Amino acid sequence: MAKYIQLTLSLSSFIAIAISSVIAVLFSYFNPFFPFKLSTFNPSITLAPHSLIMLNQASWIPAAKAIVYLDDKTEIPKPEPGEVLVKVRCIAFSPIDSKIQKFGTHPIPYPTILGTSYAGTIESVGEGSITSFKPGDTIATIRPPPQIGNPHFGAFQKYALATIHDSAKIPAAVPPAAAAATILNLSAVVAALNIHLKLSLPPLSSAPHPNNTNEKVLIYGGSSSCGGLAVRYAVTAGYTVTTTSSPRNRDFVSSLGPSYIIDHTLPPASILASLKAQGPFAAIFDTIGLAPVTDILCSYLATLPDGGAYNTLIPPMGNAPIPANVERKFAPYNFAFQEEEHEGVRRWFYEEYLPKGLESGLIVPTRQEVVQGGLGEVQRVLDLMMEGGVSGRKLVMDPWA
């Protein structure tokens, strides 16, 4: 009887491997504009030794635009070279996840596990990995773009895989929630401000370059999750920073060190007047990206003798006209760290800036709002983000709570 069960399981595993591999390959070529080929995954045989007696809990999405469901019998994967198995301690929710569920924005195979960033404790390191990571280390990690369709790397579970390439070891003094809430948006900020807008990297211990104070930088949306991190980055790099905030969040934004804060609840004409008074700006980064902000920034730049350009976090929406002398630039900023030419900045971010900056206070982590109830509350959180019920904070969850 035991041999029969073993044979049946082996056959089932083989069929599952074949089907999942075919689906993953087909979806990886489904959209020629998706910048990364999705890796195939094996949902049944890459198990850690202890997973034979211990199962994982995960929040699965069965199909595009479907509601997530909780599964208590998800298997625990075994890390390959360059990977680690992590006991997830804090999940940080991103609007990316809610948009993937609601609109099916990414051509990924289903069923899968969503979730873009988290922090946790390393359980095991993939055999043959060249790394200083070891079991017991706390890390924060970002799901790499090539693994966006691989459920083993999804954050919405108790045990997940992470790549060494996209992870940072977190000092004991830094709460996992602070690291999880900060890592994804901060990586986008570093890529946008340094790689795209060519601003200096903020020094970790010395004073910034004195000439930077002569350059003005505008961060639109200083009270948003990305905006606050961007303000702090530019300030600690030595630039003279102007940003925006509502009166409710002004005290927090002020604590980040900008030179001037514009009340974004004022009429557009008043905001435009303030921008003209504070400018011109050497760099402009829009962390809001919505149509009213686009109108304000385009109106401001259009008044300059030579027009101008700015970078934004949100791709164009609708057919809003952009003046001929204005350029609105969007890029998938996080993807820049996957490019070999930016390897130096990537290593600085994961090995130096994020861990040491959080420990020293150079980085002010994104404010967190804890969601109680564990993985059974994932759908409620995704709905809340789609409804616009989160402002200036990152929703985080302990999957074991």
Phi, psi for residue 141 in degrees, rounded to 5: -145, 155
Peptide bond into 43 cis (omega under 30): no
pLDDT for 381 beyond 90: yes
Write down the H helix ranges in 211-290. 225-236, 250-255, 268-278
Tell me if residue 233 falls in helix, strand or coil: helix
CB atoms closer than 10 angstroms to residue 33: 5
Phi, psi for residue 172 in degrees, rounded to 5: -60, -30
Q: How far is C-alpha 392 from the chain's CA centre?
A: 15
3-state secondary structure 74-86: ECCECCCCCEEEE
pLDDT for 19 beyond 70: no
Q: What is the pLDDT of residues 139-194, one digit of tens each?
A: 999 999 999 999 999 999 999 999 999 999 999 999 999 999 999 999 999 999 99
Residue 197 falls in which region: left (phi positive, over 0), alpha (psi -120 to 50) or beta = alpha
pLDDT for 224 beyond 50: yes
Note whether 229 and 252 are within 8 A (CB): no
Tokens of 342: 């930016």
Peptide bond into 280 cis (omega under 30): yes
Q: Which residues of 236-247 are buried (b: 16+ CB within 10 A; e: fewer)?
A: bbbbbbbbbbee
The β-bridge partners of 285 are 219, 311
Q: What is the pLDDT of residues 285-317, one digit of tens each?
A: 999 999 999 999 999 999 999 999 999 998 887
Q: How far is C-alpha 358 from the chain's CA centre?
A: 16
The mean pLDDT value of the chain amounts to: 88
173 by Cβ neighbours in 10 Å (0-12 / 13-18 / 19+) ranks as exposed
State the chain's maximal CA–CA distance in angstroms: 84
Q: What is the mean pLDDT of residues 126-142?
A: 96
Q: In what order do the strands lie in the sheet with 240-245?
A: 260-263, 240-245, 216-220, 283-286, 308-312, 326-330
Note whether 328 and 298 are within 8 A (CB): yes
pLDDT for 17 beyond 50: no
pLDDT for 348 beyond 90: yes
Alpha carbon separation from 158 to 71, 146, 351 (Å, rounded): 11, 21, 25
- Please tell me which residue, 8 or 327, carries the higher pLDDT value: 327
Q: What is the pLDDT of residues 53-111, one digit of tens each?
A: 468 999 999 999 999 999 999 999 999 999 999 999 999 999 989 999 998 878 899 99
pLDDT for 116 beyond 70: yes
Q: What is the mean pLDDT of residues 106-119?
A: 95
Q: How confident is the model at residue 389 (pLDDT cuts 50, 70, 90)?
A: confident
Separation CA 165–CA 350 (nearest Å)? 9
Peptide bond into 111 cis (omega under 30): yes
Q: Which residue has the tokens 């509350």?
A: 377
Phi, psi for residue 266 in degrees, rounded to 5: -70, 165
Query: What pLDDT sits at residue 54?
Result: 64
Q: What is the pLDDT of residues 315-335, one digit of tens each?
A: 887 777 899 999 999 999 989
Note whether 335 and 319 are within 8 A (CB): no
Separation CA 34–CA 19 (nearest Å)? 22
Q: What is the CA radius of gyration of the chain?
A: 22
What percentage of the chain has pLDDT greater than the value 90? 80
Query: What pLDDT sits at residue 123?
Result: 98
The identity of residue 309, as a single letter, is A
What percentage of the chain has pLDDT greater than the value 70? 86
The identity of residue 346, as a single letter, is R
Q: Which residue has the tokens 């060249």?
A: 130
The β-bridge partners of 36 are none
Note whether 155 and 143 are within 8 A (CB): yes
Phi, psi for residue 127 in degrees, rounded to 5: -60, 135
- Please tell me which residue, 42 or 376, carries the higher pLDDT value: 376
Query: What pLDDT sits at residue 138?
Result: 98
Pairing of strands 159-163, 83-92: antiparallel
Query: What pLDDT sits at residue 32?
Result: 33
pTM: 0.86
